[in-house]
Structure 1
């Protein structure tokens, strides 16, 4: 055998290539987040349910955030349409007095129906090319009118029968969207053939005002800032809660990943990716819900407000911020939640023994917020600017801090609970083992109640600055009717027609104008003037102390101390002194009130028999000094520039008495103004802020209720197997139901107490900024009751799914 025949020694296999280095940094985050996204989308029925609940919870919050981001666009659109249909006149913009091809006359003819405003105008074209209002094809002719779709439907229904009698012109068209503030607005334009500039008509060449809005009161700016914080912080808290749905089962799955070799940082990133998947799906759900809301909003009105779908368009910058901030928050919340949990290959540490929560770091955020608010400068009505950022940041820190304090408070309280009935023991034991989930479920409502308490205390302390005492006597009259023209015949007709109106118990009707005394000018260089009031003896007795009266009598009315509330003590003396020069018996007066040189007078002599009497305020709070005459004293003399007025008392037991009064006023003249008497009048800006709070608060409370229901169902789903086991071992279903109710009741009571304390603290510091004392310490009672009621109702709504989860099918393992 040669050397070549021998077998070659075996060769050693080449060494395996070195393992590829594990990705680090951004690559590791991308890999693990992608793996978490796969788990969220392919986790079987259990995983899909968890992702769906997270998406629904986040979607509800995102939908409300998108609605909030649409508020600037909505307000701008409403303001633009309002200005586009307003008509400039000599008092708002310079308008020529001559008639042209494009001029028209208009007069306000608005009314009210069962608490809802019905806006309207009378129109009369003066030229062939007179433009119609926005949204109207042509100016309606005499006896015709165009109406909004909502008004058309109301007039055609049985509910609008009384209004249809009042607006009896023939409907010839419908107002388009361009001429309406919102889809539910009740508005009309009616044609007129009798409107003149010598009466109540105002000449205008077109539509559209270019006027800057009145500056917002600095005190209201502070209120609006707090309102935005109070409405949006609970939304953010719930979104943070929703991304933690299914946390217990997720941690057990992550322990399995540790068993196959994943390290702690990897499983945390995978958990963040899983939460990110549910959040991204939540963005899609929120966008879909928002689009549905846009279509529904045109058919829904909250507290008298509505909107067109096109108005509900988010500001692009804010929408982009929501799209980026919500997923980022999901990742951060998940990382923060897992930072205190040790996930090992054989289980999760917190399942073996809970660690007591620490208080000190939970106090940092509310203390920081209080410090920011305490160092914020004082704001008053004369402030040139308001520190919006410090106020918003400080209030947000306080409210978010309350959400962080609630789990510690719940754990501290339930750790001392022992004994009691079986449902109570089941509930307290569950809370002792896992109080964080129950606390997070009610944290949103806790923050909302705390914010509502602070807001209401600010409203209560500031309302005196924005409510004016009118001095009107609501015991003597309920309505006040006035027109821009009048004579004794009109006053008599008003009195008679209103007396014959169903539900009217008393009428005080007058005609008022100003007259100038004739003779040498006063030291001021003009003739002294005074008022002249025409009324029947019964009417004059309602405004003056008359010894006796019959038609044809004349009086000179002087003021006494009762008028000091209206004009002041100095004003009483000044007007009485002026009266001695302006109302002298036997001296002629000019009924035109024209005391300028060159004017053509209309003279009437004040009789020598005129007696001096003392007058007192009428139901409107107005004082009637000067000349008081009965219709017979003037005879057929006309009163140019006069105003007809009537105060009306109705029988509140008669249904729709107010509508009968408004119907009579429309029959007399649709341009008559009728207003209810009130003890105090609210500032318009203050009223708009308060109405905005009602709308926003209603939407936020609806979100919280819906989100709390989702959270409660998620908690029950986590305990489905445990409930089924207890029922299988003979536990009564009623016992389990009561245990679930107690599990909700305990955090609710503790959260309500925390909300009351936090709300009072926040209100105290916010009122310090505006320099107002706390007016009512007990304002929290109704809001605490509302918050507790919402949670109770939501808990009751979870009973049907709870009943289904206690079936034996819950023992099945997938």
Structure 2
């Protein structure tokens, strides 16, 4: 036979073995139903992992699309244009804890620029709403919000002008914006994206990606080995009719390949279904259009190639200790003692990579080794688990019958239970590391300090007659107890500082003052503006001109101290109106503060409705709604959601694999039951068989997770903060998971212990 003929024959055997493996996957069990169930369980586990991988790959694209649309609608930087065509002023509001973003426009020239999502600029008295805001205003829930929007609705904002389907935003037309200090010229729309995320947040996202993705590949590996014992019996039968060892491995690879291909198709379907639910889900107050969640083609190709390769490699690698002979499979003998050196080598490699990242000068160069180090570190956890279980159980002796059954099973085969719980252990290790890292990074890049303000106050800042209108509207509100007002002025000069002008009664509410009378001036404790300093009185944010009035700090200025941290003004100089006699303050910012009788959400809504006539003409801030800006809120929400899905997937996979283990041992359970062993003893032995590996794995996961967090926080130079409540919650979740999985395996155990099951065996 020539070389070409030998190659053709060998190639034909390859394809024949693969075809036989596929046929066995769909009909190789004792019944067609059992074959389909085995294939379905493997494909289901792989499909769930594939769906989550596709979602993770598409989320990054969706977030990028959101950012692109967000920056595309921002006003472009003002230029030295000869003729201004459009002016804008911000005029957002808050309703039930949700911020409603909005802009008011005034057209001052021909062909004004139009923001994305609008066909034209709304005229004065007209408004364009986002679909979510329009739906809210039309609903009974939005009844308290309608008084703030008395303009005529002339359309809705298109998707290209929204970051997501649930975004609340509006554009309205108005007048007077061009000549107001609150207005700004808009030469066009669209700004370049600037101001990337803080290094700690980038590191948090990178760690989260690793924590969420590594367990998925562990689930793929474990799912591809479902029904391994039954598959081995089929391969032994093939050896009996003449197949050699290489053929059996190719046949096993074909079965794994088929389950992975079916899992890919199932995962794609689950991904398409989950993508349609994107508008209903909000993470950190953000939602997405389904069309935004499109994984890049290269990541899809990587998933399509990596999943079958991983499944086939796991199936073939799992046969390394099996000696498949024509008369049976020698797998039940105690395996060779596991070596520790290469398992610890993975752990040390992960630590080394994370240590390398911690000494990088450039944060961007530190992220790749940190991610790769976290991957190696987490992979080391399930690799180390069988050795730990083997060493712990080798020292166990005696106990109740159920405990002896379970411990003997774990002593004979620690690899199978370790493989069953590998997914949940990796998830626990990742969650512990992720949560501890977030707690530490929050102290560096997380929540910024909340603005100091009274929680029962509303503050309104307006110019000219708008400040007086705000004072009148608040005085007429039934929810307001006391109103006070003053002018915020800027003293521009050699010693520039803020100047707050108000009557003695208002000043005494916020400061400890000596004897106060009209015409008095005070310096706040710690100020560095010497008496006799002269400057120009200008509006905040503006520069003085030749026409700006001059003012000199008098030598007789008294000392003032804030009453508490809630003092609203940050000015270093305080003055009564008599001290600025003859100075026109009508163009200065007038701040009106009012104390609410009861700062409940309903009262806040009523006060906001009372201030609705001010629209864009004033800045309105409620103390009850103020708080620190949490720069990691969206990141944390996304990671929490992903962690929840992973724990759910881990629980489902653990249940499927535990049921499969019961089915593989149905002969043993049937014999024990026929010999008089109560079913309750067998059920408790299953409980121990699930609880011991998860307990040992939980301790290992907590230890490695805390070590991972310490290494990651070392990279970010952040302190380590232990969240004991989180550790307790994870411990309780592990106990609950064991109980649920054991309860889920009871029907399979009951079926296996019937006498009919023994006759079938």
TM-score (norm: length of structure 1):
0.82
Cα distance in 2 between the residues matched to 1:623 and 1:73: 43
Q: Show CA shifts across 1:652-703 (max 9, x none).
A: 6x4545444544444544552426579984464x455434433433443343
Asked if the contact 2:284–2:634 (Cα under 8 Å) also holds between the matched residues in 1, the reply is no
User: Structure 1 residues 122, 377: closer, same or farther in 2, change over 3 A?
Assistant: same
Relative to structure 2, which stretch is displaced further, 280-289 or 37-46?
A: 37-46
**Distance in 2, Cα, partners of 1:477 & 1:29:** 75
Alignment counterpart, residue 61 of structure 2, candidates 73, 84, 87:
73
Give the deviation of 1:324 after TM superposition.
0.7
Distance in 1, matches of 2:595 and 2:751, equals 64
Q: Does 1:463 align with 2:432?
A: no
- The separation in 1 between residues aligned to 2:759 and 2:174, in whole angstroms, is 78
DSSP-derived class of the 1:762 partner: helix
Match of 2:486 in 1: 510
Deviations 1:147-204 (A, max 9, x none): 2222222223333332234334443322221111011112222232443432422221
* In 1: Cα distance, 2:651 partner to 2:457 partner: 41
Q: Is 2:40 the partner of 1:52?
A: yes
Matches within 5 A, 1:414-425: 414-425=393-404
For 1:770 and 1:243, the matched residues in 2 are separated by 38
Q: Which residue matches 1:582?
A: 534
Question: Does the Cα contact within 8 Å between 1:275 and 1:334 map onto a contact in 2?
Answer: yes
Deviation string for 1:219-266 (max 9, x for gaps)?
443333222211110111111111011111111211112222222222
Kept after mapping to 2: 8 A contact 1:106/1:201: yes
Question: Are 2:323 and 1:323 aligned?
Answer: no
SS in 2 for 1:183: coil
Q: Distance in 2 between matches of 1:643 and 1:27?
A: 89
Compute the displacement of 1:424 (Å): 3.9
What is the DSSP-based 3-state SS (H/G/I as helix, E as strand, rest coil) of the residue aligned with 1:112?
Answer: strand
Relative distance call for 1:23 and 1:459 in structure 2 (3 A) is same
Shift of 1:736: 4.7
2:572 to 625, 637, 652: 625
CA–CA distance in structure 2, aligned partners of residues 804 and 197 of structure 1: 82
Tell me how far apart the structure 2 counterparts of residues 195 and 720 of structure 1 sit (CA, whole Å). Answer: 80
1:707 aligns with 2:653: yes
1:367-403 CA-partner distances (Å, limit 9, x unpaired): 22223333445146xx264144322222111110101
Task: Tell me the distance in 2 between the aligned counterparts of 1:463 and 1:40.
Answer: 50
- Say which SS state the counterpart of residue 331 (structure 2) adopts: helix
Distance 1:470 1:305, change over 3 A: closer
Q: Deviations over 1:518-549 (max 9, x none)?
A: xxxxxxxx576553323344431133223455
Deviates more, 1:655-664 or 1:444-453: 655-664
SS of residue matched to 2:342: helix
Structure 2 match to 1:230: 211
Worse overlay, 672-681 or 691-700: 672-681
Structure 1, unmatched stretches of 5+, are 1-19, 517-525, 564-571, 584-588
TM-superposed deviation, 1:344: 1.8
Tell me the distance in 2 between the aligned counterparts of 1:748 and 1:253. Answer: 31
Q: Distance between the aligned counterparts of 1:278 and 1:261, measured in 2?
A: 26
Shift in alpha-carbon separation, 1:353–1:755, aligned structure 2, 3 A: closer
Structure-2 residue corresponding to 1:41: 26
CA distance in 2, matches of 1:480, 1:804: 66
Change (3 A) 1:392 1:545: closer
Aligned pair in 2 of structure 1 residues 596, 731: CA closer, same or farther (>3 Å)?
A: closer
Larger radius of gyration: 1
Output one character per residue of 1:68-99: Cα deviation in whole Å (capped at 9) or x when no partner: 22233212211221122111243xxx252633
Q: Is structure 2 residue 121 aligned with structure 1 residue 139?
A: yes
Alignment counterpart, residue 313 of structure 1, candidates 277, 280, 294: 294
For residues 254 and 344 of structure 1, what CA distance do their matches in structure 2 show? Answer: 9
Using the alignment, how far apart are the partners of 1:144 and 1:83 within structure 2?
Answer: 24
Q: 2:675 matched to 1:696?
A: no
Quote the Cα distance in structure 1 between the aligned partners of 2:80 and 2:739: 60
Within-5 A mapping of 1:387-406: 387-406=366-385
Alignment of 1:101-250 (within 5 A): 103-127=85-109, 129-209=111-191, 211-250=192-231
Q: 2: distance between equivalents of 1:485 and 1:531?
A: 17
Equivalences for residues 487-506 of structure 1 within 5 A:
489-490=468-469, 492-493=471-472, 496=475, 500-501=478-479
Q: 1:59 touches 1:284 (CA, 8 Å); kept in 2?
A: yes
Confirm whether residue 791 of structure 1 aligns to residue 743 of structure 2. no
Conservation of the 8 A alpha-carbon contact between 1:717 and 1:805: no
Seen in structure 2, the aligned counterparts of structure 1 residues 796 and 258 have a Cα distance that, compared at 3 Å, is closer
Superposed CA offset, 1:452-474 (max 9, x none): 22233333333333257647446
Residue in structure 2 matched with residue 776 of structure 1 by the alignment: 722
Which secondary structure state, in structure 1, belongs to the residue aligned with residue 203 of structure 2? Answer: helix
Structure 1 position 36, deviation (Å):
1.3
Whether the aligned pair in 1 keeps the contact of 2:534 and 2:550 (CA below 8 Å) is no
Partner of 2:387: 408
| Residue 742 to residue 315, structure 1, CA distance change in 2 (3 Å) | same
- Shift in Å at residue 802 of structure 1? 4.4
**Paired residue total:** 750
Native 8 Å contact 1:378 1:768 kept in 2: no
SS of equivalent to 1:623: coil
What is the Cα deviation at residue 287 of structure 1?
0.9
Check the 8 A contact 2:428/2:698 in 1, yes or no: yes
In structure 2, how many angstroms separate the alpha carbons of the residues matched to 1:762 and 1:730?
A: 49
Match of 1:477 among 455, 462, 468: 455
SS of aligned partner of 1:230:
helix
Q: Deviations over 1:625-659 (max 9, x none)?
A: 3242259986995431324253756746x454544
Counterpart of 2:722 in 1: which secondary structure? coil
| Contact 2:90 2:103 (C-alpha < 8 Å) held by counterparts | yes
Return the offset for 1:51: 0.7
Return the offset for 1:27: 5.8
Q: 1:679 to 1:332 in 2, by over 3 A?
A: same
8 Å CA contact 1:379–1:771 kept in 2: the answer is no
8 Å CA contact 2:406–2:688 kept in 1: the answer is yes
1:252–1:598 distance in 2 versus 1, CA, 3 Å: closer
TM-aligned CA deviation for residue 26 of structure 1: 6.2
5+ residue gaps, structure 2: none
